[in-house]
Chains A and B, each alone.
Chain A
Amino acid sequence: MIEFRGVTKQFPDGTVAVAGVDIVVPPRKTTVFVGSSGSGKTTLLRMINRMVDPTGGQVLIDGTDVATLEPVALRRSIGYVMQNSGLLPHRKVIDNVATVPMLRGEKKAAAHARALELLDTVGLDRSLADKYPSQLSGGQQQRVGVARGLAVDPNILLMDEPFGAVDPIVRSELQQELLRLQGELGKTVVFVTHDIDEAFLLGDQVVIMQQGGQISQAASPAEILANPADDFVADFVGANRGKRALHVTEVDGRRLVVDGDGRPAGVLAS
C-alpha cells in the first residue's frame, strides 16, 4: 500500500506542482493518475521512488516514510516504465532487461536466464534478445520497458505515460497486454496518463487531477461516471460533451448504442 499524506511540492521558483494531496493507493490494484499537463500527476508518481522529494507531507510505502529510505536502493526495488521506453540505447535488449538485477548484484547468467523468461511474459520473441533497442519497433521497445520494470519482481510498478508515444493500434494492444499481465501478476500499479479513456480502461481506482496539483475525484471508473464530483470532472470525462451520454437506438432490428452526437459506439448485446 502506498499512502500520500498531505503531500505538497513547491519548486524553488514558487510553482506549486502538488498541493496537499491525500490519497491511498491500494495494494495489488491499478491506480491511474489522470490529468492534463501541469496537474502534478507525474510529480506524484516520482515521489514514490524519490525521483522527487516532497516539500511537505509524507509518502509512505507499507507504513514506512520513503524519506527514511536510501533512494538508490528504493529505486532498485520498484519497477519503473516510462514514455519512449527509456531503454539504454547502447545495451542489448537482454542486458536492458537484466540491468536492475545486475545492479543489485545478481550473477549475469541468472539475470539473463530470467530476462529471457520475461521476454516470454511480455510477449516478445526470444530472438530479439541480442538486438539493440533502435532495431525494435516502438511497441516492441515499450514491451522491453515493461519487462525491465518487472525484472526484480517488484511489488510496485510505476508507469509514467508508458504508452503515450506509440500509435493507437499498438497502444490498444499494449493496454490489453497490461490488463492480462496485471490479472496474472497482481502488482501494485501506479499509472500516469492524460488519456481518460486509458485511465478508465486500466484503472481500478482513477484519480483525476486538476491544475495546481489537487485531486478532483478519486474513485472507480463507474463511480466517477455515475457521480462526477464537480463540473471539472464531468467535463474532463466527457459527460458534458455527450461523449459518454450513450443511448440505444434500433437500426434494422439490431439495438445500437450511440453517443450524444449520434455516432455509433457499439451494438447492445442481448
Chain B
Amino acid sequence: MNWLWSNLDLVGELTLTHLALSVPAIILSFVISVPIGWVAHRYQWSRGVLLALCGLLYAIPSLALLIALPVVTGLRTTNPINLVIALTLYGIAVIVRTAADAFDAVEPDVRQSATAIGYSPAGRFWGVELPLAGPVLLSGLRVVIVSTVSLATIGAVIGVQSLGSLFTDGLQRNIQAEIVTGIVLTMALAIGLDWASVAIGRLLMPWWRPSAAVRRRTLERVERVDAA
C-alpha cells in the first residue's frame, strides 16, 4: 500500500494514458464495424467472407502485430498510434459479427412497414434500422470495451506506456503492490467504461427496457406452459 500512496501521481497519469489508448480504439472499432456489419447483413453473399476475414484478425498474435505495424505505418515502434491501430483491429474482430446480427435482429415487419409508409432507404437506415439495432450493438460494444481495456496493457512490452507498465515495472523490480495496482485499475477501468456505455445506451434508447423484455418473454413462456 505504501508503494501506491507514494506513486499516486504515476498511477493517475498511467490511468489517463490507458484511457487515451483504449477509448479511441473502442470508438474506432465500433464506427468501422457498424457499416461492415450492415453490409454483411444486407448482402448475404458477402456475409461469410466479411465475417471470416474480420474473425481472422483476432488470430494474429498481438506481439507480432505490434512489431509488424510500424513497418506498415512508418511510425516508431513506441508510437502509441500503432497500439491504437492494433487495438482497433482486434476490436473489429470482436464486434463485426455482433453488428451483423444486430441488423438481422431488426424485425422484418418493422422494416417493411417503414418502407410502406414512405421512408427512403437512407432515412430508414438512420431512423429505423440503426436505432433498433442499438441494443445488440451495445452488447457487442460492451465486449469490445472490456477486451480492449485489458489488451491495451500489452503495449508495455513494446514500450508504450499504459497501466500495463505497472506489470512490467513491478515484475522487474519485484514490487507486488505495483502489479496488483495495475490489475485492479485495469479491471476498474473496464467496468467503469462498461457502466458508462450502458448509461449512454439508456439515454439514447429510452424505449429500451432490457428487464421489461426479459419479463415479457418469461410471461409468454408461462402462458405457453399454462396453455399446454
B residues in contact (CB < 8 Å) with A: 107, 109-110, 112-120, 123, 128, 131-132, 134, 205, 207-209, 212, 216
Q: Is A86 a contact of B120 with CB atoms below 8 Å?
A: no
Q: Taking the nearest CB of chain A, how far is it from the CB of B171, in angstroms?
A: 49
CB-CB under 8 A from B117, the residues of chain A are: 75-76, 80, 86, 99-100, 103, 148
Q: A86-B109, A89-B110, A103-B123 are in contact. Are A75 and B132 (CB under 8 A)?
A: no
Is A216 interfacial (CB-CB < 8 Å)?
Answer: no
Besides A80-B113, A82-B113, 17 more A-B contacts (Cβ < 8 Å) are: A46-B116, A80-B117, A82-B112, A84-B109, A86-B112, A87-B110, A89-B110, A90-B128, A90-B134, A90-B205, A91-B207, A99-B117, A100-B117, A103-B117, A134-B207, A134-B212, A148-B117
Q: Is B132 a contact of A89 with CB atoms below 8 Å?
A: yes
> Can you sample 27 A-B contacts with CB below 8 Å?
A51-B116, A72-B119, A72-B120, A75-B116, A76-B117, A82-B112, A86-B110, A86-B112, A86-B116, A87-B110, A87-B113, A88-B113, A88-B128, A89-B110, A89-B132, A89-B207, A90-B128, A90-B131, A90-B205, A90-B207, A92-B207, A99-B117, A100-B117, A103-B117, A104-B118, A134-B216, A158-B116
Query: For B116, B128, B131, B134, which residue has the most chain A Cβ atoms within 10 angstroms?
Result: B116
Q: Please tell me which one of the listed residues B113, B131, B216 contacts residue A86 in the complex, with CB atoms under 8 A apart.
A: B113
CB-CB under 8 A from B132, the residues of chain A are: 89-90
CB-CB under 8 A from A84, the residues of chain B are: 109
Is A142 interfacial (CB-CB < 8 Å)?
Answer: no
Q: Is B116 a contact of A49 with CB atoms below 8 Å?
A: yes
CB-CB under 8 A from B119, the residues of chain A are: 72, 103
A residues in contact (CB < 8 Å) with B: 46, 49, 51, 72-73, 75-76, 80, 82-84, 86-92, 99-100, 103-104, 132, 134, 148, 158
Taken together as a complex, chains A and B put the C-alpha atoms of A132 and B115 apart, in Å, by: 20
Closest B residue to A86 by beta carbon equals B113
Closest A residue to B205 by beta carbon equals A90
Number of A-B contacts (CB under 8 A): 64
Taken together as a complex, chains A and B put the C-alpha atoms of A84 and B110 apart, in Å, by: 9
Closest A residue to B114 by beta carbon equals A88
The 4 closest A-B pairs by CB, nearest first: A86-B113, A76-B118, A75-B118, A80-B116
Q: Is B118 a contact of A103 with CB atoms below 8 Å?
A: yes
CB-CB under 8 A from A46, the residues of chain B are: 116
Taken together as a complex, chains A and B put the C-alpha atoms of A103 and B113 apart, in Å, by: 14
Taken together as a complex, chains A and B put the C-alpha atoms of A75 and B120 apart, in Å, by: 10
CB-CB under 8 A from A80, the residues of chain B are: 113, 116-117
CB-CB under 8 A from A100, the residues of chain B are: 117-118
CB-CB under 8 A from B205, the residues of chain A are: 90
Q: Taking the nearest CB of chain A, how far is it from the CB of B81, in angstroms?
A: 37
Taken together as a complex, chains A and B put the C-alpha atoms of A132 and B119 apart, in Å, by: 20
CB-CB under 8 A from B212, the residues of chain A are: 134
CB-CB under 8 A from A104, the residues of chain B are: 118
CB-CB under 8 A from B128, the residues of chain A are: 88, 90
Q: Taking the nearest CB of chain A, how far is it from the CB of B139, in angstroms?
A: 16
CB-CB under 8 A from B118, the residues of chain A are: 72-73, 75-76, 100, 103-104
Q: Taking the nearest CB of chain B, how far is it from the CB of A95, in angstroms?
A: 10
